[in-house]
Amino acid sequence: MTSDISALLRAACTGLAKRDAHILNRELDMAGRTACCDGLAERPVPGEGGRLLASRDRIREGDIVVRKSYGQDILFQVICVESYAVGNGRATLKGISVRLLADAPLSDLVIADDRVVIDFKRQTVRESAEHLRSVRVRRATEAQTRQKRDRHRARDRSAAEDLFDLPGRVLHIDGDAEYLRDCMKYYKELGVPVVGKHVPPEEQPGRLTEMLKEFSPDVLVLTGHDALKKKNSDRSSIGSYWNSASYVEAVRRARQYEMDRDGLVIVAGACQSFY
């Protein structure tokens, strides 16, 4: 169980879930052709660092964008456009491969070309498949080791030993419904018993205790999105982060409910949380 915590953390942080690669590639190809036929994929123009960018400059909710001021390093999805006012337009963003929340002026955003997004998603599928393969290989190796060890033991194994090999139950509380859906697929692929709940980070502390009582998990995952509120904020202050204080408070309440660290393993936070 303990050896799989890193895999659970990876699932929580990246939201990667294995899908059949050739099926997804076919879906992505069809989506790309449909976009071109519908006139949604406009002629791309070269961007900084060689990244292709769409020529449409009107940012809308749901668009996949990059930030010019950060060298177009991360792909984001626009979740809210606060204003289109000239010189004052801003948008709220979430990372599509990392649990990062950000806001940016519209003037700093450029729409990523469809081909860039498709290539990125294909790479995500390959990485996810590799993560799952490595976990399965490790589990198979551990199973063989246990079998060899058990051959030297008495044939009558105690019920306690049998129960020890059962996977622990996970309660995954996520502030992002899309990432939660992907994580649930990942857990299913690994054969991990899990209950998933979509709860915004600011509501997680208040709702946590009742869910711990209801589901009695062995592993608790508390996640969502997080980041510094401003680029030059004080990194040493928890108040500089969007959701870190909520995760910390949720962990505190979980420990009040179950103080035994072996009785409840907690994985909490997002990719740029305050630690």
Q: Does residue 36 lie within any of the structural domains?
A: no
* Same domain as 240, residue 196: yes
> What is the structure's pLDDT at 206?
98
Q: Which of 96, 112, 128 is the last residue of a domain?
A: 112
pLDDT along the chain (275 residues), means of 10: 52 42 40 35 39 58 94 93 81 90 91 89 85 83 79 58 66 96 92 96 98 97 91 87 96 97 95 86
* Same domain as 8, residue 89: no
Token pair for 130 = 């590799």
Q: Does residue 37 lie within any of the structural domains?
A: no
> What is the structure's pLDDT at 10?
53
Distance CA 269, CA 242 (A): 11
> What is the structure's pLDDT at 256?
97
* Same domain as 187, residue 76: no
Q: Does residue 30 lie within any of the structural domains?
A: no
Q: Does residue 218 lie within any of the structural domains?
A: yes
Q: Which of 112, 129, 151 is the last residue of a domain?
A: 112
Total count of domains within the chain: 2
> What is the structure's pLDDT at 40?
31
Q: Which domain holds residue 123?
A: 2-20+117-268
Task: Report the CATH number at residue 49.
Answer: 2.30.30
Residue-wise DSSP of 89-149? -EEEEEESSS-BEEEEEGGGEEEBPHHHHHHHHHHHHHHHHHHHHHHHHHHHHHHHHHHHH
Q: Which residues contact 26 (CB under 8 A, 6 or more apart)?
A: none
